Amino acid sequence: MTLEADLVVRLDGFVLRVALTARGGETVAVLGPNGAGKTTLLRALAGLVPLAEGRVVVGGRVLDDPVAGVHVPPERRSIGVVFQDHLLFPHLSALDNVAFGPRCRGTPRRAARARARAWLDRVRVGERASARPAALSGGQAQRVALARALAVEPALLLLDEPLAAVDAATRPALRRDLRALLATTDRVQLVVTHDPLEAHALADRLVVLEEGRVVQTGTLGELASRPRSRYVAELAGVNLLAGEATNGRIALDGGGTLVAPDATSGRVLAVIHPRAVVLHRVRPDATARNVWPGRVDIVDREDARARVHVTGSPSIVAEVTAASIVELGLVPGLELWVAVKATEITVHPA
């Protein structure tokens, strides 16, 4: 089972251009800022939005080809969709919600209900089979929605922010169960999410959309080592600085310079991990070749560590321990010095 999509969608002035392939058994996470086109992509694959150009082929079957006049209606596609707000039929029980798809595809009522019950058991809400959506918790409703999508035995499964409507206490358990379900299949699976943790936990590969275009694809580690945009750098938790390199020095676009041994010549992107950024109350007399003044803007605590946003030339994010916050007296407005060793900077062509 495979997915081959090379499509263009034009919608209210927005243009989405995406080329995407995936093999059977692979889970691909689609990430991007708001308005990047993530949900539009899923709706186009599901047949809910018409293509202006291109083709969508699932398992060798052409679902969309405007030039050839092919458009398979959504209900006739072997595609399951899980929306972030469930969209369960409010007047049907959980069991009948899940049985609805197989019944629409011609499965006899008794067999459809038996399949529905089996899927409800698999997603751990079998005891809620007779309940209507209004009586379900957010996590239970999302499990029913997942069972409904899987009950039609789709060749392609599309999940739009599947954990967004689930409370924080329920999310880890549902994420674990969802990961187990996605790992045992030969279908193609696309997950739209804004959460890098969710993407890393569920997907084999990440595809990043920005302004309707694919800007980067790979594992989270690959994206972190060579981010191509500020959004990707923030997603991976690293600093990304662009500039013009000449003989080991980078004149940064936002002001300031960096010394980096790999910076030869031309437009480059410099990647600095926050853990490589060292903060000092006074100018350090150390071996670091990159030292500049800055001002603390934000101190964002995360358990035993914190990310400190420092404005300067350049502005940068440092990761420090909770003890360092106290020792350095890190508060917004504090003036300090930033130091980064040249060997801690990774440089690649822009």
Residues 81-94 pLDDT 10s: 998 887 899 999 99
Domain with CATH 2.40.50.100 in the chain: 240-349
Q: Which residues contact 123 (CB under 8 A, 6 or more apart)?
A: 143, 144, 146, 147, 150, 177, 181
Q: Provide the CB-side half-sphere exposure for 108 (13 A, CA).
A: 2
Q: Angle 269-234-222 (CA atoms, 0-180°, nearest 5)?
A: 65
Q: Angle 180-104-89 (CA atoms, 0-180°, nearest 5)?
A: 70
Q: What is the pLDDT, as a whole number, of residue 302?
A: 80
Q: What is the pLDDT, as a whole number, of residue 220?
A: 85
- CATH architecture of the domain with residue range 2-225: 3-Layer(aba) Sandwich (3.40)
Q: What is the pLDDT, as a whole number, of residue 168?
A: 76
CATH class of residue range 240-349: mainly beta
Residues of the chain with pLDDT under 70: none
Domain with CATH 3.40.50.300 in the chain: 2-225
Side chain identity at 297, as an amino acid letter?
A: D
Identify the H or E element spanning 199: helix 196-202
Q: What is the pLDDT, as a whole number, of residue 241?
A: 94
The model's pTM is: 0.82
Q: What is the pLDDT, as a whole number, of residue 333?
A: 95
Q: What is the pLDDT, as a whole number, of residue 181?
A: 87
